[in-house]
Structure 1
Amino acid sequence: MAISICVFDAYGTLFDVGSAARRAAEEPGREAFAARWQALAELWRQKQLQYTWLRAATGVHSDFWRVTQDGLDYALEVEGLAGDADLRARLLQLYWELEAYPEVPAMLEALKAEGLATAILSNGSPAMLEAAVGSAGIGDRLDAVISAESCGVFKPDYRVYDLVGHRFGVAAREVLFVSSNGWDAWGATAYGFRTVWVNRRGEPLDRLTMPPERVTGDLAALPGIAAEL
């Protein structure tokens, strides 16, 4: 069955989640933070993801913005920055203005030129996703932006992946799902999507039984991959 739609995770896949901390570190007066921003950004992301998994597993849901704030507060405390209210506010503001990876606009244009539909499927709240898409200027290259919030649970719960079929009326094997998160690519593979893991950091494959169909270092190669499948 041919691919008819490419569906993307948002954070870490289309949008650089480290850009908020990086941009804050570049601002005047944040020289002390500049030496620590990478460690904070990494821990912030780790806790953000862990909190989605725990909430999905326990059924204690809150939206992704709450999870994002909780992850940042944990990271700030670990880095000894919990008392810096100005830094916290600035980091959260910048999270609404995340940068897209450089290859994203041209990649989406190439997919659209080949007649494929494109969409986002993300744990992000609708308002967060709208802000990120607008900041990156890619809204005209997307047919839909789908939030897990509509079903009240986070990926990799199958109910989130179900949202693609509900929105587009396609079979799972018509969907090419693309994520930089290995756990998300594995979950989508188990669901029945065709999958690509965007392994930007050259990490080893997770020891799970449902690996993604393809692995690539960035999104530039995706139109070619989609054409081959």
Structure 2
Amino acid sequence: MSATTTLSPKAVIFDAYGTLFDVHAVIAAAEQIFPGRGDALSQLWRQKQIEYTQLRTLADAGGAAHYRPFWDITLDALRFSAKKLQLTLGRTAEKRLMDEYACLSAFPDAVPALHQLRDAASVSASRPASKSASRPASAASASAGTSGGSPPGLAILSNGNPQMLDVAVKSAGMSGLFDHVLSVDAVRAYKPAPAAYALGTQAFDAQPREIVFVSSNGWDVAGATWFGFTTFWLNRQNAPLEELGVTPHGTGAGMSDLLAFLKTLSTAGRAGRAGAAASRTPHSPGA
């Protein structure tokens, strides 16, 4: 893990697919339908899904003439992938795989870490504003990921359309954990379009650098870094860094690494505020 910023973030925004939700959770069903080809289908399906979002946004040149909801693109990508792999995709198989995609499993570390961040925010909001207030042991544990300062707000910012995200969040047991669930459908432009990332700054009334953006997708982290976010690459696949001349502010293999990164930012931010306060304090002669 590395950090090159000393900000205490106002918000932590998560990509959804591949970051919180396991897009390859469909492999088991695909393998049952197409024995020996499930993994290949899942990998190509994901690749074409991302390609189609980027192609449609690039082709729009400032408009939205070629925009289609993410659910439609996901279906198009599945159909192409089946044809490319010479697999016969009947209506029953197609429906089953799309139903699987609608309710993707969350990564095992996602929900516990989100609860930790959300609990920290709840504890901070309910704590009396008293200098002598004692801190319960449970509160100290809950805020381990964001030690010091106000805990950040939480959001999802995803290519997924609102209906997809609503089902995915509920089925993964994440209801109530986010301040905002943001869909690029609102601007009809897919990431890494700046208009898509701007949904996050608008939601929290914050500057890009005041927000930590978390994604497992290297291209997404690059786009978010270019936009100005403080970025954390949740490198779940142990992939190499994209050759785009962009380095995320933090990297790690799991959500525990993200919590440690946020703690580093919070500690550095607290130290910076203390130093600034000290520099403003007048000193008496001879002191």
* TM-score tier after normalising by the smaller chain length: over 0.9
Query: How many residue pairs get matched?
Result: 224
Q: 1:65 aligns with which of 68, 71, 93?
A: 71
**Equivalent residue letter for 2:52:** Y
Question: What per-residue deviation string (whole Å, max 9, x for no partner) do you get for residues 93-145 of structure 1?
Answer: 11111000000111112222132211000010000000100000112211110
Distance in 1 between residues matched to 2:39 and 2:89, nearest whole Å: 19
**Equivalent residue letter for 1:133:** V
Aligned to 2:108: 102
Identity %: 39
3-state secondary structure, aligned to 2:12:
strand
After TM superposition, the score normalised by the length of structure 2 is: 0.75
CA contact (8 A) 1:21 1:91 kept: no
Aligned to 2:8: 2
Distance in 2 between residues matched to 1:6 and 1:64, nearest whole Å: 23
How far did 1:189 drift? 0.5
Distance in 1 between residues matched to 2:89 and 2:178, nearest whole Å: 40
3-state secondary structure, aligned to 1:38:
helix
Q: 1:163 aligns with which of 176, 188, 199?
A: 199
Distance in 2 between residues matched to 1:49 and 1:90, nearest whole Å: 21
Moved more, 135-144 or 47-56: 135-144
Residue 211 in structure 1 maps to residue 247 in structure 2: yes
* CA RMSD between the two structures: 1.3
Distance in 2 between residues matched to 1:105 and 1:202, nearest whole Å: 21
After TM superposition, the score normalised by the length of structure 1 is: 0.94
CA contact (8 A) 1:182 1:197 kept: yes
> Which 5+ residue runs of structure 2 have no aligned equivalent?
1-6, 61-65, 121-142, 144-150, 266-287
> Which 5+ residue runs of structure 1 have no aligned equivalent?
none
Distance in 2 between residues matched to 1:22 and 1:158, nearest whole Å: 36
Q: Identify the structure with the greater strand proportion.
A: 1
Moved more, 204-213 or 190-199: 204-213
> Higher relative contact order at CA 8 Å, sep ≥6: structure 1 or structure 2?
2
Aligned pairs for 1:32-181 (under 5 A) are: 33-59=34-60, 60-112=66-118, 113=120, 114=143, 115-181=151-217
3-state secondary structure, aligned to 1:139:
coil
**Equivalent residue letter for 1:38:** D
